[in-house]
Amino acid sequence: MPKFLLGRRQFTLGAAAAATAALIHPGETLAQTAGTLAELDQKTRNAMAKLTPQGRAEAEAKIANIFRKYGDRLSEEQKADIRRIMAETQEGLDKMRAFPLENSDQPADAFRAYRHEAAPEKTRGGKR
């Protein structure tokens, strides 16, 4: 089970979020969540407090952008979940950016010029 969403501390892939109150189905609320709105807001504040002013501003800008684009689809619980996760993941991004790299350190997926001698083959959907 991979570990996505910004590679947080959890082993669970995608469980980058340390919990929250998001809706699954009507009637399944607290049993599926890790905290009330107030608790989630407190976790968000705690995470934000650990960030530099620049990091905090970046996290807040990203949260605002998510809500600008998708806010009308989100419940208050989901918004609280997003605020907390974005605040908690910003610290990891700051750590990654602090890793010492030289200008000459190239990315792993280097571009290669392409040339195919044979006639192009018709590809089907889904094939690359």
Partner 1 sequence: MLSEEILFLSVTELSKRIRGKQLSPVELTESYLARSRDLGPKLNAYATLTRDLAMKQAHAAEAEIKAGKYRGPLHGIPYAAKDLLAVKGYPTTWGARPYVDQHFDYDATVIRKLESAGAVLLGKAAMIELAGGMGYRYASASATGAARNPWNTDCWTCGSSSGSAAITGAGLAAFAIGTETWGSIICPSGFCGLSGLRPTYGRVSRAGAMALSYTMDKIGPITRSADDCDLVLQAISGHDDGDLGSLPDASAKYNGVGEVKGKLRIGWLENQWKEVSPEVEKPTQAARQVLAKNSSVVMSKVSLPEGPWEIAAGVIISVEGAAAFSKLIQSGRVSELNDPLGQVGGYMNEELSASDFILAQRIRTVVQARMDEIFHKVDVLATPSLPVTATKVDANLDLALTFADPIGGIGNFCGLPAISVPCGFGDHGLPVSLQFIGRALDDDKVIQAARIFQAQTDWHKKRPKLQ
C-alpha Rg value of the chain to the nearest Å = 20
- What DSSP state is assigned to residue 19? -
Site for partner 1 in 7-36 (CB under 8 A): 7-20, 22-24, 32-34
User: To the nearest whole angstrom, how small is the minimum distance from the Cβ of residue 38 to partner 1?
Assistant: 18
Q: Is 57 near partner 1 (CB under 8 A)?
A: no
- The answer to whether 20 and 33 have CB atoms below 8 angstroms apart is yes
Choose between 37 and 92: whose C-beta lies nearer to partner 1. Answer: 92
Least Cα distance to 34 among 12, 52, 49 occurs for: 12
Least Cα distance to 91 among 3, 1, 9 occurs for: 9
Per CB under 8 A, residues contacting partner 1 are 1-20, 22-24, 32-34, 62, 65-66, 69-70, 73-74, 78, 81-82, 85-86, 89, 92-93, 95-99, 101, 105-109, 123-128
